[in-house]
Amino acid sequence: MKKLVVLLVVFAMAVIAVQAQAQPAEPYRLAFITLPVYTAEETDIAVYNQWMQDEADAAGIGIGSGLGDGDTSWFVIGSTADISARDNTGTNPLVDGPGVPIYLTDMVTKVADDNIDLWDGDIDNIINTNAPGNVTPGHLWAYSGSNIDGTIRIPGTNSNAGGPLGTQGEVTQGNGGVTNQWCFRIWTSDPYTTSLPLYAMSEIIPEP
């Protein structure tokens, strides 16, 4: 009986160690591309944020997740006419400072070193995992409504590649399969009624 108890304790400690290793050992953020697809008809950024939160909660990385303080908030990496993607996610280098590293939901692959790196025009790795941390099949063209630096996309500028989320027309999308086009594809956009993925980002998660 004592041997069994000892074995169970050792096993439990091993599980805890593995879980600890599965999270970055510093404050960080997470990002994913949605598996469900959405239209870009909504003009209220809170609606998109709630969709991201719902996906994160369902995957166990949102409210009650145990990450950081246990309740992690999520936001869309997207711009409406009223707010930019970098302000909505709290990653504006001019306002929020350099920030923290950003990882995919596999907890291993780094998207960017910090806020500056995220919006400098070329991220480190594409955002290709969904909320549970699995690589998403299919194309990765996602609505962003943003320029590559995370600012609001103004319709009719620079090859007329769409506008922000909620635009009654074509909305800017990113090519998630290319690091320097992940947030903005200059040569195409889609009607706001087309269903496409979105990008999500967590708040800063304290070190475990």
- Structure-model confidence comparison of residues 6 and 202, the more confident one: 202
Q: What does the pLDDT average to over 57-85?
A: 94
Instruction: Name the pLDDT band for 186 (thresholds 50, 70, 90).
Output: confident
Q: Which residues contact 10 (CB under 8 A, 6 or more apart)?
A: none
Instruction: Name the pLDDT band for 164 (thresholds 50, 70, 90).
Output: very high
Ranges 68-72, 86-90, 156-160, 187-191: which has the least confidence: 156-160
Instruction: Write down the pLDDT at residue 31.
Output: 98
Query: What's the predicted TM-score (pTM) here?
Result: 0.86
Rounded CA-CA distance 31/129 in Å is 8
Hey, what's the torsion of the CAs at 159, 163, 167, 168, to 10 degrees?
A: 0
Instruction: Write down the pLDDT at residue 104.
Output: 98
The rounded mean pLDDT for the chain is 87
Instruction: Name the pLDDT band for 18 (thresholds 50, 70, 90).
Output: very low
Ranges 95-104, 110-119, 122-131, 167-176: which has the least confidence: 167-176
Handedness of CA 80, 81, 83, 85 (dihedral sign): positive
Instruction: Write down the pLDDT at residue 9.
Output: 36
Q: Indicate the SS3 state at residue 11.
A: helix
Instruction: Name the pLDDT band for 155 (thresholds 50, 70, 90).
Output: confident
In angstroms, the Cα distances linking 190 to 20, 82, 85, 139, 167 are 41, 20, 18, 14, 11
Q: Model confidence over 23-68: pLDDT tens digits?
A: 676 899 999 999 999 999 999 999 999 999 999 999 999 999 888 8
